[in-house]
Amino acid sequence: MCGILAVLGCGDESQGKRVHVLELSRRLKHRGPDWSGLHQVADNYLCHQRLAIIDPASGDQPLYNEDKSVAVAVNGEIYNHEELRERLPGHRFRTGSDCEVIAHLYEEHGESFIDMLDGVFSFVLLDARDHSFIAARDAIGVTPLYIGWGIDGSVWISSEMKGLNDDCEHFEIFPPGNLYSSKEKCFKRWYNPPWFSEVIPSVPYDPLRLRSAFEKAVIKRLMTDVPFGVLLSGGLDSSLVAAVAARHFAGTKAAKRWGTRLHSFCVGLEGSPDLKAAKEVADHLGTVHHEFNFTVQDGIDAIEDVIYHIETYDVTTIRASTLMFQMSRKIKALGVKMVISGEGADEIFGGYLYFHKAPNKEEFHQETCRKIKALHQYDCLRANKATSAWGLEVRVPFLDKEFIDEAMSIDPEWKMIRPDLGRIEKWILRKAFDDEEKPFLPKHILYRQKEQFSDGVGYSWIDGLKDHAASNVSDKMMSNAKFIYPHNTPTTKEAYYYRMIFERYFPQSSAILTVPGGPSVACSTAKAIEWDAQWSGNLDPSGRAALGVHLSAYEQDTIAVGGSNKPGPMETVVNGVAIES
């Protein structure tokens, strides 16, 4: 991922302003350590910090049309750029960058071209012919983007808050799936599929069609000119990503240039469930596996840097981001610049354990819709910013636009968790890859129970965070929390501790408002309580909140890992690890 910063219509064309904009852009250099670019037209400034993944030699940004009247700074990947180039026969391209098509598509189609892009992106496009601009963000918000307004009438757009928080009178999250036009001075939604309105779909489940859609999503993300690998926790989602990538890796340009074996990466406390499961998956797939151990103290020491980079005080996000932040630094040290990861499957398929309590398919589907819409404030934010902190790009095939549209069109009755039929969470995804002739994964990995990332790396990690927070936040401080932090008042000492650090870096009210509202607990606790009152006393956003589900669904009864349609090995789950009976 790269970093973009645009300052538009500021009324100042001086060298001093240019220097100031460059200084602000350098706050994003961690996102793009390979090159910096600035394009100025009168009082409009377009900055780019580049992480070179496609065409490292000549793809520096900003990018232009033929006469440089249109300039664009992009953070993202356009997977269908070669197809789009063929649809632009009269245009001359300067680079091999996948993002250059944006400038030429704008020339041909104006603002209406955005839905033609297959990829993830945030961009600002400046048209020097009339000094107008447009900005847009990808469908789900995989790439981060913020927009702000200055007291001088300027508009600011940045990949991270730190690029604009000192200069804007007000700023906020740029909404995913939206376009902003300077001519109309408003947002317009360009991504509006049927599922977005939460209409209950009715398409029958076709496992081979779902499998094919996911394989396509992974394969297109193998597009790279630099060394890459996969993040592998040993859970279902990352294991499926790794399995599909391993099958198709040999034919990629990266394999021919950098080696024929896929690299995989895992992080955890020594002896953690994830490390054990990931090693087994790596052995099954034949990847070159890299296992990174960390201590609780290592994580605690990194907390302040993590909060500065991920720009949130959400408890769950910080817990998981710290581990991803540490792992990304190790991965970048190995010379790898891009990784593929498994975010998004739990939201699409109802993989969180409280979905066991969903009363009907309508509420099940509506909750998945709500969770996907909120991803840009949680898992997308974590994955992108924790990796970009070290100049590493993460790609997430489960959040492929075409795959989401396919998966969200399936009748949610098939997604419902039905122990009476042997269907555990994400059963339709597991079933789609349950291939007896050419297994993608070992059975007990394919049917491994859902585990929170921050739990799977080792349960003492969360306990260590809580103890550290308790040593820094007193009971007296907590008693005054509602006066110190009237908005999103912390309800635990851990949440209070993170909030203190966050507001030291981002004290503006605009920054505080970018973090989701409500008590500092898991974002879906309210829905869980609505479905089952046993959740009401829980304030911990860890996966341990689902202990009752763990016990009732897994430990009291063994289940057939193949589901009810076909007998298979029997397993029970203890502390998140599948144990074959």
530: which 2 tokens? 């609505």
Q: Measure the CA–CA gap between 475 and 498, rounded to whole angstroms.
A: 16
Residue 41 tokens, joined: 């037209």
pLDDT digits (tens, 9 = 90+) for 509-545: 999 999 997 544 444 567 877 897 776 666 565 555 5
Count of C-beta atoms within a 10 Å radius of residue 509: 9
Phi/psi for 105 (5° steps) reads: -65, -35
Q: Does the annotation flag 341 for ligand binding? A: yes
How far is Cα 529 from Cα 516, in angstroms, rounded to an integer? 18
The domains of the chain, with CATH numbers, are: 3-192 (3.60.20.10), 197-472 (3.40.50.620)
Structure pTM?
Answer: 0.92
User: CB–CB of 191/115 below 8 Å?
Assistant: yes
Nearest alpha-carbon partner for 338 in 22, 114, 2, 24: 2
CA atoms within 13 A on the CB side of 182: 22
Side chain identity at 266, as an amino acid letter?
A: C
Token pair listed for 278: 């990931």
Longest dimension (CA), the chain: 73
Phi, psi of 363 (to 5 degrees): -70, -35
- CB of 150 within 8 A of CB of 167? yes
DSSP string, 88-129: -TT---SS--TTTHHHHHHHHHGGGGGGG--EEEEEEEEETT
Catalytic-labelled residue, pool 2, 99, 266, 523 = 2
Q: Tell whether residue 202 is among the known ligand binding residues.
A: no
The model's pLDDT over 6-46, given as tens digits with 9 standing for 90+, comes to 999 999 999 999 999 999 999 999 999 999 999 999 999 99
* Residue 536 is assigned to a ligand binding site: no
Question: Helices 273-285 and 236-248: crossing angle, nearest 10°?
Answer: 20
Return averaged pLDDT per consecutive 10 residues of the chain, 581 residues in all. 95 97 97 96 97 91 95 97 95 94 96 96 97 97 98 97 96 98 96 93 97 98 94 95 94 82 93 90 96 94 98 96 96 96 97 93 96 97 98 98 97 96 95 95 86 63 94 98 96 97 98 80 65 68 52 38 32 29 24
Ligand-binding annotation for 342, yes or no, is yes
State yes or no: cis peptide before 144, omega within 30 of 0. Answer: no
Catalytic, 47? Answer no
Rg (CA), the chain: 23
Which of 216, 307, 223 minimizes the C-alpha distance to 55?
Answer: 223
Q: Are the beta carbons of 125 and 65 closer than 8 angstroms?
A: no
CB neighbourhood size of 256 (10 A): 10
Cβ count within 10 A of residue 567: 11
Name the token pair of 395: 């790609």
Round the average pLDDT of the chain to a whole number and report it: 90
Of the candidates 32, 307, 306, 65, the residue with the CA atom closest to the CA atom of residue 158? 32
Question: Residue 267, annotated ligand binder?
Answer: yes
